[in-house]
Amino acid sequence: MTRVFERDQPGGGTRVLIVGASAYTDALEGTDLVPKLTQISSASKSALDFASHVIGKWQDRFIRPLMTVDLLVDLPQAPDGATFQLSDESTVALEPPTLANILQARKKWMENAGPQDCLIFYCCGHGIYLPASGSTFLTASFGSDDGNPWRDAIALDDFALALGDFPPRQQWLIFDCCTNTPSDALKAMGANADPLIQLVAGKRNQMMRDHGPLSQVTLTSSTPGALSFGKVGRASRFMEAFLEACSGPGCRSNTDGKWWVDQQGLENAISSYSQRIAAPEEEAYFKFPRLTRTDAEEVPRLLYHDERPQCTLLVRSAPAHRLKQATLTIRNPNTLAVVGNQAAGADALPRYRISVDPYVTYELKAAFEAGEFTKQVFALPPLASTLFEVP
């Protein structure tokens, strides 16, 4: 089955389609026309983690209340489909994300969708940039037709464009896959992928006349020519950063007592993840090119939280090791409370960070051998950073 969540939303709801391809059993060896693909466990982990958050913590927090979730996932050890635990703790068997299964799920996902509905699509797996089709996502059945394997790839740019032909005015498309062109894919310079939906001339303008302007957001985990990554046993680096951003740091605006995660907030939170969250040894791993784009007239909102977001306060020094030699004190001048401190010594951190209340100007004092330095830093979420330059 693909439908793992469903409830009526007469006033319009959020419809989610999640795809995670990991096994690629028909492309593990490669042929003259089929690029050799490795299995990627992080793709299935990303899809399952996203689905768990959607159905769990977030189901009542979307811009429209959650209506349906369709989920297709395979695993390297389960190429015929993974399993998923539902909210009632029962377990269901999922279908693998072959092109045929995705097409059927896409139809179900959009069935009777109206202008008040919000569409969310997420895919994670192998991706290749084709000159004739642009960015593509390789489904689990890629390589099953060794004469024309590209029929089992999805043309993501064409898919996004064609979705504008349909009534739902709020759309979020998240493409978590590589966008490079490996050398063995150059044999397919003229290949065309499947767009999942056929574009109809003039239909987009008709939808705008009938239902108002389209608010579509596209998030991609890599820019053209770049790779996406994940580590064994973990979700992709994009999904790790995305889930954290949606948990609160991506909140950027307050409306009617709700703190909204929106497109710009997501960009700010994901781009600062390496400094706010990543361990020092993984800071470079979480610095990656990505692209966020929208044609919306106003910044699109995804989901909300009741509590205002915290801000990460990051303190560094130049040279970097000097902070370990300083006594650092961080104080909230409004309450006179010390909110953070660090003593000099071998256990001191060369990069000190704490979570603080937002929209407060904090006073920082760092006592080095060269003297005492004072700075004031305004905590604007998600990250406030300062640097002590020590002579």
Question: What is the pLDDT confidence band of residue 278, given thresholds at 50, 70 and 90?
Answer: very high
Looking at the chain, how many residues does it have?
A: 391
Say what the pTM is.
Answer: 0.95
Q: How many CB atoms lie within 10 A of CB 361?
A: 12
- Percentage of the chain lying above the pLDDT 90 cut: 87
- How buried is 26 (Cβ within 10 angstroms: 0-12 exposed, 13-18 middle, 19+ buried)? buried
Q: What local confidence, expressed as pLDDT, does residue 73 receive?
A: 98
Q: What is the pLDDT of residue 137?
A: 97
d(C-alpha 191, C-alpha 152), whole Å: 11
Average pLDDT on 75-92 reads: 92
Residue 163 three-state SS? helix
pLDDT band at 370, cuts 50/70/90?
A: confident
The answer, yes or no, to whether residue 128 has pLDDT greater than 90, is yes
Query: What are residue 19's DSSP bridge partners?
Result: 72, 123
Closest listed residue to residue 93, CA positions, set 4, 156, 27? 4
Cα radius of gyration (the chain): 23
Q: Judge contact between 133 and 161, C-beta under 8 A.
A: no
**pLDDT at site 1:** 67
CA distance 103 to 67: 20
Rounded to an integer, the average pLDDT of 83-89 is 88
2 DSSP β-pair partners: none
Task: From 298, 289, 295, 288, select the one nearest 262 (Cα to Cα).
Answer: 298
Band (pLDDT 50/70/90 cuts) for residue 35 is: confident
Q: Which residues contact 361 (CB under 8 A, 6 or more apart)?
A: 333, 376, 377, 378, 379
Q: What is the pLDDT of residues 198-223, one digit of tens each?
A: 999 999 999 999 999 999 999 999 99
The pLDDT, as a whole number, for residue 192 is: 86
Domains annotated for the chain, with CATH where assigned, are: 3-305 (3.40.50.1460), 311-389 (2.60.40)
For 90, phi and psi rounded to 5 degrees?
Answer: -80, 160
Task: Output DSSP code: residue 166.
Answer: S
Instruction: Please give the pLDDT value at position 307.
Output: 93
pLDDT beyond 90 at 32: no
Tell me which of 183-197, 242-256, 269-283, 300-314 is least confident. Answer: 183-197
Q: Where does the pLDDT of residue 30 fall: very low under 50, low under 70, confident under 90, or very high at 90 and above? A: confident
332 pLDDT band (50/70/90 cuts)?
very high
- Calculate the average pLDDT of the chain: 94
Pairing of strands 337-342, 327-332: antiparallel
How does DSSP assign 127-160, residue by residue? EEEETTTEEEEE-TTTTSSTTSGGGGEEEHHHHH
Residue 97, pLDDT > 90, answer: yes
Mean pLDDT, residues 299-326: 95
Distance CA 322, CA 371 (A): 12
Rounded distance between C-alpha atoms, residue 332 and residue 341, angstroms: 12
On the question of pLDDT at 7 being above 90, the answer is yes
